[in-house]
Amino acid sequence: MRAQFVLHEISVGLRRNLTMTVAVITTVAICLTMFGMGLLIRQQVSGMKSYWNDKIEVSVFLCVKGSPTPVCRTNGPATAQERAEIERQLKALPQVEPGGVKYETQAQAYERFKESFKNTPAFVKSTSAAELPDSFRVKLKNPEDYKTIVGAMKSRAGIDSVVDEQQVLDRFFSILNGLQKASWIIAAIQVIAAILLIGNTIRIAAYNRRKETGIMRLVGSSNFFIQLPFLLEGAIAGLIGGIVASGLLALSKVLVFNRLQDYFTFTTTMSWSTVISTIVLSIVVGILMCAIASYLTLLRYLRV
């Protein structure tokens, strides 16, 4: 009987304040979506760093015929003797892993280029093997020793440039980290808006049902039993908002993170288990947030 009464009161409360309830659900859904997106981006960055940590290489590009840089136009293409001397010096550096120096011809570079950008055929078609230079791909014991390689190879005859893959990835990571911070800032703003909306909704509900709560006090109902319908109203709003957010997060997996993998071949695929765990956490956070906001509002506006 008591359970039936509580359910009836929740139904009445949600119907009486339907507009406010919809506003709460919408705000909570946006808040949890931004919160979940921040977590997913964090997981993506963490996974990529772990995956690429032992795969990062330094590329020492050599001058070839047609290289546009001033140093290559002045000195001309790298000779066989210059290539041999560069390879010998690279292998002698203590920061380089044993067997970590590999020579890559223009043809080999073009094959790897086609594989890396197979999802953008127009870009591959517009690029020829002659535009890609020969290079030495160098594996370091510690990727942070990149500057040592630059210092050792700087101004050597036959070298066009030295590129560290970690620098490229760091720029990409910084973009993702910026998006993560932006999503959490939006989530924080939405949390404030949601708490204010929940407070107003519960306050109006408490005022509209002041006679019922007065009667319940007279018949000896406990404080918890009087507060329970209001708390559950907030929790249900949080649950529905979390369910809506879960759909948006699943959509982001398909439309954002999967496409990120298509356009950037150096990204790692995000698993559905990561998305599901983020969804579960977001729903729990939404329910607790709404329930706690409701309880704090009741302490002020529902004297029992």
Q: Which residues share a beta bridge with 61?
A: 135, 161
What integer pLDDT is reported at residue 1 of this predicted model?
44
DSSP for residue 78: P
Predicted confidence (pLDDT) per residue in 4-34, tens digit: 655 655 565 556 667 777 888 888 888 888 8
What integer pLDDT is reported at residue 244 of this predicted model?
93
Both 65 and 40 in one domain: the answer is: no
Q: Which range in 19-23, 73-77, 81-85, 157-161 is most confidently predicted, on average pLDDT?
A: 81-85
Query: How many domains, in total, are found in the chain?
Result: 2
Both 63 and 196 in one domain: the answer is: no
Both 181 and 233 in one domain: the answer is: yes
Both 134 and 224 in one domain: the answer is: no
Six-digit token string for 98: 């044993």
- Other beta carbons within 10 Å of 276: 14
Both 181 and 286 in one domain: the answer is: yes
Predicted confidence (pLDDT) per residue in 184-202, tens digit: 888 888 888 878 877 777 7
Both 197 and 133 in one domain: the answer is: no
Both 90 and 152 in one domain: the answer is: yes
Predicted confidence (pLDDT) per residue in 210-252, tens digit: 666 666 666 665 666 667 777 788 888 889 999 999 999 999 8
| Residue 267 pLDDT greater than 70, yes or no | no
- Asked if residue 60 lies in contact with residue 153, where contact means CB atoms within 8 angstroms, the answer is yes
Name the pLDDT band for 256 (thresholds 50, 70, 90). confident
Taking the C-alpha atoms of residue 263 and residue 116, their distance in angstroms, rounded to an integer, is: 10
- 66 Rama class: left (phi>0) / alpha (psi -120 to 50) / beta: left
Sort 8 into a burial class: Cβ within 10 Å, 0-12 / 13-18 / 19+. exposed
Predicted confidence (pLDDT) per residue in 113-158, tens digit: 887 777 777 777 888 877 888 888 888 887 777 777 777 777 788 8
DSSP for residue 56: -
Both 214 and 260 in one domain: the answer is: yes
Range of the domain at 126: 57-165
> Among the three residues 165, 182, 206, which one is the final residue of a domain in this structure?
165
- Other beta carbons within 10 Å of 132: 20
Both 43 and 184 in one domain: the answer is: yes
- Asked if residue 223 lies in contact with residue 284, where contact means CB atoms within 8 angstroms, the answer is no
Both 152 and 188 in one domain: the answer is: no
CA geometry: angle 94, 99, 103, nearest 5 deg: 105
What integer pLDDT is reported at residue 268 of this predicted model?
67
Both 22 and 81 in one domain: the answer is: no
> What does pTM read for this prediction?
0.65
What integer pLDDT is reported at residue 304 of this predicted model?
46
Q: Provide mean pLDDT across the span 30-56.
A: 78
- Other beta carbons within 10 Å of 192: 11
Both 238 and 108 in one domain: the answer is: no
